[in-house]
Amino acid sequence: MDLVPAPSGETPVKTPVVEVEAVDLAEQVNAETVALEEASSDYETDSDDSENWELMSNGDNTIQILRDEQLHDGLVPGACTLEEAIAYRKRLHDIGKAAFVEETIARETVTAKKLCTAFGIVPPAFLEGAPDEAFHPLLAIAISREFSRRPKLPQYNSIDDAVKLLREAKNIIVLTGAGISTSLGIPDFRSKDTGLYSKLAHLGLSDPQEVFDIHVFREDPSIFFSIAKDILPTEKKFSPTHGFIKLLQDKGKLLTNYTQNIDNIEANAGVLPENIVQCHGSFATATCVKCQHKVNGDAIFNEIKEGIIPECTVCRKRIAEEGLKPQGLKRKRSTNGQQKDRKEFEDSSDEDDYEIPTPGVMKPDITFFGEDLPDEFGQRLIHRDRELADLVIVIGTSLKVAPVAEVPGILPRNVPQIYISRTPVSHTGFDIDMLGDCDVVVSELCRRAGWDLQHQMIPVDEKVEVTPVEGYESRHVFKAIGA
Ligand SMILES: [Zn+2]
């Protein structure tokens, strides 16, 4: 296949109908699924779970995912050959989405229907016989999906490869999620079925995520504080996986631990604050919503544990002082002049803000929906870590939530990326997948690396069985024998 490059500034060709940018969103995965639902009215889902990519191949009128083996075998009529598909994918990565669309669809060198197959999507039956334009929305998704995908590095596959990477790496980025804390009994608050959300039904919220919605918090902080004690780390404990991150730090290999977790347990393990970016904030500090006074998280832990809404001491002091001043409370009233009399007849609770000053609520510095993410994330990743990282280890997260989900795509593609979690993810290509209880996986990796990872939750004589997953050269399941 010989695809002609499209130099910039060339005479305009037919405007591409494929709106690549329309799905070029930060939350790529969600965008894909939403767009897929729009593309196929016959397809129904009750989940926004990206893992459904695989499930979509069930049934007759659904969008089917095409594996490379199927392209190789030539079993799909009208599809690209595997060689063609690989050439198209490489071309896309080389020249970018807009130029790629221009030199293919806009120039009509290939149909959208056929091009979909190059990116692993079978033209759905419900579009059979439709004009080629009908395939453009699907192609846009397919292109964006491929473009955001990091190609797997072929040279890393085995556990030995993973151990070698660990031993040789000097600047490791560790991305962590709820999965590294679940062995401590801390609920995965994003998990819809087993996590905290299931505990929230009784709060009568239309969407459990409202607990972490800043607007809801401002209106009624008691909703958040009614569950905060459940997600607050109570003891100074940490899991073997936290211990593993600390071990990487001790060996001078930890560049940054970007964590989605807000439990601040990394600190319990001894990971230094300068080595952690808490992408969604944490309970480590809290800030007054009124005067922005900041305190250490410890200062309000007792109140949180008792279910009390913590109030700002600075605000309280100021109010007390102002209350002592003559006319301290009346000043605002006097400016209201005529309305004053009327108010005295009303039992108007909405006037409380004017009449009785209240101290601000202390909000833990976890990032709520509707709040900006800490800026440290992008600053550090893009201006420092991107250049330095020589290995990425993703542990205990399915990488569906921004911004951590974007890290693998932001880093140079030659940096090896390995994955440790219970379930594989399909939307990001890792070089090595190590599936199982992450505490078991890291303890076995350390054993094989000759590293001493001691933790009371790791049995001294632990034996771990590692089984390859059939059909995947680089996917392995770890299981503690007898567990
Ligand atoms: Zn305050």
Q: What is the pLDDT of residues 132-175, one digit of tens each?
A: 999 998 999 889 888 877 878 989 999 999 999 999 999 999 99
| Orientation angle between helical segments 136-148 and 28-39, nearest 10 degrees | 160
Average pLDDT over residues 36-45: 33
**Residues within 5 Å of ion ligand 1 by Cβ?**
288, 290-291, 293, 312, 314-315, 360
**Which residue positions form the known binding site?**
288, 291, 312, 315
- How would DSSP label each residue in 141-202? HHHHHHHHPPPPPTT--SHHHHHHHHHH-SSEEEEE-GGGTGGGT---TT-TTTSGGGGGGG
* pLDDT at position 410: 85
Average pLDDT over residues 51-57: 34
**Which residue positions form the known binding site for Zn(2+)?**
288, 291, 312, 315
Q: What is the pLDDT of residues 372-394, one digit of tens each?
A: 777 788 889 989 999 999 999 99
Task: Tell me the two tokens of residue 154.
Answer: 């072929």
Which stretch of 216-230, 328-342, 432-446 has the lowest confidence by average pLDDT? 328-342
* pLDDT at position 427: 59
Q: Which residues are catalytic?
A: 280
* pLDDT at position 447: 96
Q: How many Å lie between the centroid of ligand 1 and the Cα of residue 294? A: 9
Percent of the chain with pLDDT over 90: 43
Q: How many Å lie between the centroid of ligand 1 and the Cα of residue 373? A: 22
Q: How many Å lie between the centroid of ligand 1 and the Cα of residue 429? A: 46
Q: How many Å lie between the centroid of ligand 1 and the Cα of residue 317? A: 9
Q: What is the pLDDT of residues 79-117, one digit of tens each?
A: 998 889 888 988 998 899 999 999 999 999 999 999 999
Q: What is the pLDDT of residues 193-223, one digit of tens each?
A: 555 666 666 666 767 778 888 999 999 999 8
